[in-house]
Amino acid sequence: MAFLSDTLARVKPSPTIAVTNKARELAAEGRDIIGLGAGEPDFDTPQNIKDAAKRAIDAGKTKYTAVDGIPELKAAICNKFLRENGLTYTPAQITVGTGGKQTLYNAFMATLNPGDEVIIPAPYWVSYPDMVLLAGGTPVPVVAGIETQFKLTPAQLEAAITPKTKWFIFNSPSNPTGAGYTREELKGLTDVLMRHPHVWVMSDDMYEHLVFDDFKFCTPAEIEPGLYDRTLTCNGVSKSYAMTGWRIGYAAGPVALIRAMGTIQSQSTSNPSSVSQYAALEALTGPQDFLAENRAVFQRRRDLVVSMLNQAKGITCPVPEGAFYVYPDISACIGKATAGGKIITNDEVFADALLEETGVAVVFGAAFGLSPNFRVSYATSDAVLAEACSRIQKFCAGLV
């Protein structure tokens, strides 16, 4: 009898974590490494949020709470959805989990049966397909390439839907491309979904607040009220409020689904950290100036990185609408040899050689389901980004 489960054999470890580990190892050997792999803001959590957490500890808010969130936080989340998205939810329609990741995972665990398909636009956040596999479902990736600015078209969505489709995952702005759908683009997709009443929509709005220029964020249940009863709108404080380590995510949807997700959570982790819930409460109800300041910094960095990468020979870098990632295309580098003598046969070799020869760590595109590309996370200082991009320029100039 095998000790490890068949379930484990279905999934692979996160490639983004693998890149981060390799970069850490090289740095420990004394190499000068710049990590552009991590998906988290470099800012510290705002002081008012940290203070709220300290107050919660001192007030003894250190016990178990209701499994899927304290009432005050659920009320604040209802207000957030009304204020920012024009969506009306009651507290019974809200669930709070240990990071956005847990709420998505709960939803899959609560709904997927063997054979159920989940449509995942590619390139995708690395965890979607593996979470679907862990829950026993079948991921159906649909590639949306650079020719449509990494956005799925209505025709592609229509063609991917089968009688077995249970969920369509929508993530805008996207990890790993930063692509954000306009209202018109999203309406094109929701019109398709209205013709297929058996398909549920999981909208992962994690990067809602990180949008640039005059781009306006939108989410499916807001654009098409007809989808409200079969949409799970997911969000969290991790990226917007620089709170990745606090582990608070939340979602809103039909009561029966929210209850089922709570049942899964009650037999796995129980409540998310009580202290973190009070911190998230402050994030959602306290001053919101941080969001605009954050946005301005990220927009400046995006412009720097896009401009410098487009000056690198063989790289084409589209301008994303949001998040803190760019996803440049490196088709023109494939088949070339690096200064160190490696032949670039694919984007994994490119990223490996880039790390070995210049010390810059990026994540290769195959990990996200679209090649040949790589992902840069520009959640680091302007000076570090400028140095990293000039090393990438030099690396590309040396390709023959």
- Which residues are near ligand PLP by CB under 6 A? 39, 99-101, 125, 171, 175, 204, 206, 236, 238, 244, 249
Q: Cα separations (Å) of 192 from 155, 160, 198, 317?
A: 8, 11, 12, 30
**Closest CA relative to residue 177, chosen from 348, 380, 317, 362:** 317
Residue (208 or 348) nearer to ligand PLP, CB: 208
Task: Please tell me what DSSP assigns to residue 127.
Answer: H
Q: How far apart are CA 275 and CA 62, in angstroms?
A: 7
Residue (35 or 314) nearer to ligand PLP, CB: 35
CB of 169 to ligand PLP, least distance (A): 9
Q: What is the dihedral sign for C-alpha 68, 74, 77, 83?
A: positive
Residue (11 or 332) nearer to ligand PLP, CB: 11
CB-based contact 113:317 (threshold 8 Å)? no
* Three-state SS at 232: strand
Element (DSSP H or E) covering residue 236: strand 231-236
CB of 341 to ligand PLP, least distance (A): 35
CB of 120 to ligand PLP, least distance (A): 11
CB of 203 to ligand PLP, least distance (A): 11
Q: How far apart are CA 268 and CA 390, in angstroms?
A: 46
CB of 349 to ligand PLP, least distance (A): 25
CB-based contact 27:355 (threshold 8 Å)? no
Residue (108 or 395) nearer to ligand PLP, CB: 108
Residue (125 or 212) nearer to ligand PLP, CB: 125
Structure-derived torsion over alpha carbons of residues 93, 97, 100, 103, reported in degrees to the nearest 10: -60
Residue (101 or 151) nearer to ligand PLP, CB: 101
Residue (232 or 399) nearer to ligand PLP, CB: 232
CB of 302 to ligand PLP, least distance (A): 16
CB of 327 to ligand PLP, least distance (A): 13
Element (DSSP H or E) covering residue 393: helix 382-397
Angle 139-144-145 from CA coordinates, rounded to 5°: 135
Chain residue at closest Cβ approach to ligand PLP: 99
Residue (117 or 204) nearer to ligand PLP, CB: 204
CB-based contact 168:201 (threshold 8 Å)? yes
Structure tokens at 6: 């068949």
Residue (244 or 288) nearer to ligand PLP, CB: 244
CB of 249 to ligand PLP, least distance (A): 4
* Three-state SS at 366: helix
Q: Where are the alpha helices (DSSP H) in the chain?
A: 6-10, 15-28, 47-58, 71-85, 99-111, 127-134, 154-160, 183-194, 220-223, 255-266, 274-285, 289-310, 347-358, 382-397
CB of 290 to ligand PLP, least distance (A): 17
Residue (40 or 158) nearer to ligand PLP, CB: 40
Q: How far apart are CA 81 and CA 113, in angstroms?
A: 30
Q: Where are the alpha helices (DSSP H) in 64-180?
A: 71-85, 99-111, 127-134, 154-160
CB of 213 to ligand PLP, least distance (A): 21
